[in-house]
Chains A and B, each alone.
Chain A
Amino acid sequence: MPSSGANPLFVEGGAGTLKLMAYLAAAIMLMAADHRGGYLTQVREFAGLAAGPIYRIAAAPAAFARYVSDRTTSRNLLIEENRTLREQLLLANARLDRLGAVQVENLRLRELLGGTRGLQLSVQLASLVGIDLDPFRHRILLDVGSRRGVREGLAVIDANGVVGQVVDVTPLNSTVMLISDPSHAIPVQVVRSGLRAIAYGTGEVGRLELPSIPLGGDVRVGDELVTSGLGGRFPAGFKVGTIETLNPDDTRLFIVAGARPAARLDRGGQVLLVWNSGDEDGPGFVGPPAEAGADPSRNDKQPANAEPSAAQDAGKEPTR
């Protein structure tokens, strides 16, 4: 403070306007550099290391509360929970077996077509760090980072459906943008009719929006939406949400559908990171599988691609 020397009580303006301008300019320049992206990744990665312990401290009270509640849960409750979980596991296993059969068949058919891409999924379990970032920004923080192989762009799901995608990775943590974020979009497909659309976030946790559906599009309230797999970022077939409202848009030429996300975006302790093992090289390829013989160079690449991804799978648990 320049004014602290004489008599700070009666000096008008404890802070110089020039100083203010300098700081504001610095802040705005930083924001511009950060927004344009790229320039500050290194800084963020470095700071991410320092942030880890602070996240842990902030999460400690909640972790302690959970520990206490775990400890004091009565035996009966645990037995009860165990029983329901067993039942669910049985059901899930039965369903998986059936899906397994379908997958084998599907794989064979795809081989006939000359491409196995997009079938092998790799997953990794991650926990939410028990902290709240700004409740008005749709971001959550995970306890895994680039040291555990997390990359930008991985899809994040929970038991019920798609949660979002990884947007920012530091060595120890990664930030996930939820599908409800206004700047997020996800390619979806109506299960019943196969109609494809794009679901945008609205900024409300409980609502997605699908604009620009043709008036003749086959979509009804209650229809389920799954990821279509187009664009290669989200693997196909994960639940996204349920259609809740259908309204004509301003031009009366299209329908705007509102959907409720299937995943529990606001709560939930653990999530899965999923990616197609076929595209370890990044989601570059977009489009339907090539027909046999149509593109020999792609066919040549397939075995080479399968090798490293199989090695990668050894560390994680591949799902079907």
Chain B
Amino acid sequence: MSRSRDSAGLLLATVLVAFALQLGPLPGYLAVLRPYWIALVLCYWLLETPDRVGLGLAFVIGLFADLLFGTLLGEQALRLVAMAFIVLRFRPRLRFFTVPQQALAIFALMLNDRVIVLMVRGLSREGWPPWEFWLSPLVALIVWPLLFVLLDDIRARLRGRESS
């Protein structure tokens, strides 16, 4: 019982860190490269603990992100729910991919996410974004292995400390 509570704390902490990373200031040329941290972290938890993380949590996190970023209320909720659904659908396969294969899958997911953003903003008449808009999935491709290994390591350590 205590273990699952521990993991919930970790989940909350990682989501908060993701928010901070997403909001933290960067110089202009780096800011366009910023991956969608919130989605990446959520993706990790969807793959690892799908019994606790589902569409509902994705929706709530998305709403919260919308309020923080001043985007249209529901935009990020829509993006995260769509992503969560795809991840959960293909989870049995994704879970047994090697890390590079997973990274490629994440790349596709993030590309899909960008398309959704384009659809939403197109409908609310926000205009066509510059080409740098498409760089962030590439960065996600590079970042994913690091994130995956890091989070796995943190969880293994926490578990090790509990059992000892």
A: residues with CB less than 8 A from B are 1, 4, 8-15, 19-20, 23-24, 26-31, 33-35, 40, 43-44, 47-48, 50-51, 54-55, 57-59, 61-62, 130-137, 139, 141, 168, 175, 182-183, 203-205, 266-267
Contacts and interface: CB of A to CB of B under 8 A. Distances in A.
| Interface residues of chain B: helix, strand, loop or mixed (majority) | helix
B73 A31 contact: yes
B115 interface: no
Interface of B: 19-20, 22-26, 28, 31-32, 34, 50-51, 54-56, 58-59, 62-63, 67-75, 77-78, 81-82, 84-85, 88-89, 91-92, 120, 124-130, 132-133
Contact of A14 (B20, B89, B125): B89
List the 8 closest pairs (A to B, CB-CB), nearest first.
A182-B127, A30-B74, A14-B88, A58-B23, A27-B78, A31-B74, A34-B73, A47-B67
Contacts of B68: 51, 54-55
A238 B126 CA distance: 26
Given A51-B68, A132-B24, A136-B129, A44 B51 contact: no
B101 to A, nearest CB: 18
A64 to B, nearest CB: 11
A51 B126 contact: no
B82 A132 contact: no
Given A59-B25, A175-B70, A183-B125, A23 B55 contact: yes
B26 A24 contact: no
Contacts of B73: 30-31, 33-34, 40, 43-44
Nearest to B26: A132
Contact of B127 (A29, A130, A134, A183): A183
B15 to A, nearest CB: 12
9 contacts: A15-B85, A30-B63, A34-B73, A34-B74, A59-B23, A131-B23, A133-B23, A183-B125, A203-B129
Contacts of B69: 133-134
A26 B68 CA distance: 19
A137 B24 contact: no
A267 B54 CA distance: 39
